[in-house]
Structures are given as C-alpha cells and as structure tokens.
Amino acid sequence: MKRSEYESAKQRTEEMFAKAGIVLTAEEADKIEVAGFGLNDLERQGLELITYVNSSRYCAKELVLFPRQSCPEHLHPPVGDDPGKTETFRCRAGKVFLYVNGRSTDGIQAVVPAGSEAYYTVNHEIVLEPGQQYTIEPGTLHWFQAGDEGAIVSEFSSTSRDEYDIFTDPRIERMPVIEEE
C-alpha cells in the first residue's frame, strides 16, 4: 500500500472515531494500524484499528470499517498451549454484518467482494447494531463487513496473536507493507 493511501485511511479512521465520540490520545492516533491485507483493495477488503492493550492475558482494540469494507474470512488457531483467541465484538457505531460457521442465512446482507467469492465460505449471518455484541470462540471461521455508513467495533479478547491468524484467501499478507512514493 502506498504511504499516501495509508495516511488517508488513518485520517478517515480518526474522523470516524471523532464522529462516534470516541476520544483517542495523540499517541493512540499515531498508532492506528491500517490493514490492507496485501490485496490492494482497501475500500472493499481491509480494516483499521487501534490496540489499547495486548498482554499475556487479554486484549482490547477498536476496529474501524469504512462503508461496506470487509475484514476477510479467517480464524484464530491454537498457539502452543493456548487454544486460540476468543473475541467479543461489541458494535459501537454503524451496523456490522458478522458471518460465522453455522446454518447458512439465505440472502445475506453483505456484499462479497468481487473476485474473492471463493474465500468467503461461511454465511451464518449475525447483525450487530450499536450496543449489541457477539463472542467468537477459538477456531471459528468468521468475516465481517460494515453497513453503508461504516462501523466501529470494540473487540475484547484473550491475547491477540494476529501473525498466526489463518485466512481462507492464500493471497493475504497480514502484516502491512508500506511503499514510499
């Protein structure tokens, strides 16, 4: 991803936080992560986030999704003696369409990104609006997408080890690579 795209996404993320009344310190704003997943399609497949704390016992993050942006399908596998990450998503602003293993929902509300259909395999739909939450157990395939206004989700979880996440799409690069212009 180009540095200008990265910086623009960080600015949009800060604006979404401000609109939702979520205050970040200057230090936190500097640490906003833009995850494009190496797909060069940030508007449709990506995620912006800030990690408040990630210790050996727990993790707290804010996830930002631009309008109709999807976080691609993945799971959190066991790592050593740890069974994998358990995470609770609590919608703070907007609407989130969350998809997990389970009985398929007819006529899902998300728009699967064109060209990536083969990598979005679970479609049991859970709709989260502000104040609603859902807990995802370790090893559960899941993906999520914001509604038309974008969304902010608070994530409360066990220790996060993002580098071990397993994505359905083999093209994904979890850690961002920023190209200078």
Going through the chain in order, the beta strands assigned E by DSSP cover: 33-35, 47-54, 59-65, 70-75, 87-100, 124-128, 133-136, 142-157, 166-167
Compute and round to an integer the Cα radius of gyration of the chain: 15
Q: Mean pLDDT over all residues of the chain?
A: 96
The pLDDT value recorded for residue 102 is: 94
Burial of 38 (0-12, 13-18, 19+ CB in 10 A): middle
Per the CB < 8 A criterion, the answer to whether 48 and 20 are in contact is: no
Token output for 87: 């995470």
Task: List C-alpha distances in Å: 178 to 36, 141, 162.
Answer: 10, 28, 18
For residues 175 and 172, what is the distance between their CA atoms, to the nearest angstrom?
A: 9
Give residue-wise pLDDT tens across range 4-23. 999 999 999 999 999 999 99
Domain parsing of the chain, residue ranges: 3-167
- pTM for the complete prediction? 0.95
Question: Which superfamily is assigned to 3-167 in CATH?
Answer: Jelly Rolls (2.60.120.10)
Flag whether pLDDT at 176 surpasses 80.
no
DSSP H stretches of helix in the chain: 3-20, 26-30
Give residue-wise pLDDT tens across range 92-114. 999 999 999 999 999 999 999 99
